[in-house]
Amino acid sequence: MSDTGYLPKEKIKDFLKELAKDAVVYAPCLEGDIVLFRPFSEERTLCLDRPANTPPKSVIYPQSETLFAFQYKKAPEDHQKMSVELKADIGVPNMVIFGARPCDAKGFRIYDRVFIETNTPDPYYRKRRENTLIVTLSCAAPSPGCFCVAVGGGPAHKEGSDVMMTELEGGYVIEPVTEKGRAILGKHVIEDGKPYLKDAQHVQAKAHDEVRNPFAPDELPKISQSLFNFDGFWEQVVGKCVSCGACTYLCPTCYCFNITDEQGIGSGERVRSWDACMFFHFTLEASGHNPRPTKFQRFKNRVGHKFIYYPEKYEGVIACCGCGRCIRYCPVNVDISEIVNYLKDTHQELHWASSRKEGTQPTVGSTKDE
């Protein structure tokens, strides 16, 4: 068996059917004008020519899941007393994420460190992660707003994927990344891909050159602390933010969540659901005190989490995969890459500091002399 496989385009449905024999296959499907990861079936329209509107994160980390169910019962010995029964069920089928993009797959690596590689691993995430095979499609061209190469990724970056596919004219070159992914090469419809490997590498390299790097020439952005901690900066750059959760919910690396009890009569579930640091309620305490009451502080925390706090904890890894969704789908197109770029630019910092001294509003990209 060769190390590289090849999937002719006309056999893609057969391939998916074969995968679906012992797993639920989530693939990017066209729905109206948008692309979503859906359990693939014959009636759905596969769409691989652009990244899905939402990343496949919900497959492994669902937007809402039951942590456990509880039920109050009358104690048999004393009917005045109620006892409680808890039931946690972490049953997960085998799953395949087909057609994720390298940025999407890299997102799962960001989660792994938090959910699995800790002394209190999350059994729900871990089980799903272990049961899921991630088949990634490398990007042939950048998408609006994306910048993976600037945050340690790339259009054929393999981190997080089990299998990497690269599209050629007639089919897909298939490179296994993990042991789990190697099994793919054994599927019926997969042919030997060795003759196509060079072409695939060429496509990958070409795409890499086309992705913009807003932080160039830096390898990874280095953030100026003084500017980061300057309130006026945030007031200027995120004044337009409407404080919704679109950026976080569409982000392949955002993982903050809420835990709530949702009750029926005498029973109910403890539910874990996505939450967003952009919401006022996120940090609101029962006393009414809110440590991050303004959208500026909340946005600062979002940028901080991705570009400072997470890297501090995890050996410099930036918790942003550069997919560009938060830029494309933001109601007012707040551009996180632009903001980080300001934050790293020492020249700008001088300028911000000077406007701070004068007591005037700082300005972004003004031509005014310092």
Contact 366, 287 (CB under 8 A): no
Closer residue to another protein in complex, CB, 41/260: 260
314 CB burial (10 A radius; 0-12, 13-18, 19+): middle
Residues 160-199 interacting with another protein (rule: CB under 8 A): none
- Our finding on whether 365 is near another protein (CB under 8 A) is yes
Closer residue to another protein in complex, CB, 67/197: 67
- Our finding on whether 81 is near another protein (CB under 8 A) is yes
Closer residue to another protein in complex, CB, 167/269: 269
Contact 123, 90 (CB under 8 A): yes
Residue 51 C-beta: closest distance to another protein, Å: 9
- Our finding on whether 157 is near another protein (CB under 8 A) is no
One-character DSSP codes across 35-86: EEEEE--TTS-B--SS--SS-THHHHS-SEEEEEEEEEEE-SS-TT-EEEEE
| Residue 367, amino acid | T
Residue 5 C-beta: closest distance to another protein, Å: 28
Rounded to 10 degrees, the C-alpha dihedral 207/208/211/216 comes to -160
Backbone φ and ψ for 66, nearest 5 degrees, come out as -85, 120
Nearest to 336 by CA among 251, 210, 270, 274: 251
Residue 106 C-beta: closest distance to another protein, Å: 19
Residue 274 C-beta: closest distance to another protein, Å: 8
Residues 343-362 interacting with another protein (rule: CB under 8 A): 360-361
Residues 19-48 interacting with another protein (rule: CB under 8 A): 31-34, 36
Q: Which of 8, 257, 345, 353 binds another protein (CB under 8 A)?
A: 257
CA distance linking residue 89 with residue 272, whole number of Å: 14
Residues 281-340 interacting with another protein (rule: CB under 8 A): 281-287, 289, 291-292, 297, 301, 304-305, 308-310, 312-313, 327, 329, 331-335, 337-338
Residues 196-255 interacting with another protein (rule: CB under 8 A): 229, 236, 239-240, 242-246, 248-250, 255
Contact 199, 168 (CB under 8 A): yes
Rounded alpha-carbon distances, angstroms, from residue 232 to 76, 115, 240, 293, 337 = 63, 35, 14, 16, 19
How many binding residues for another protein (CB under 8 A)? 107
Residue 351 C-beta: closest distance to another protein, Å: 13
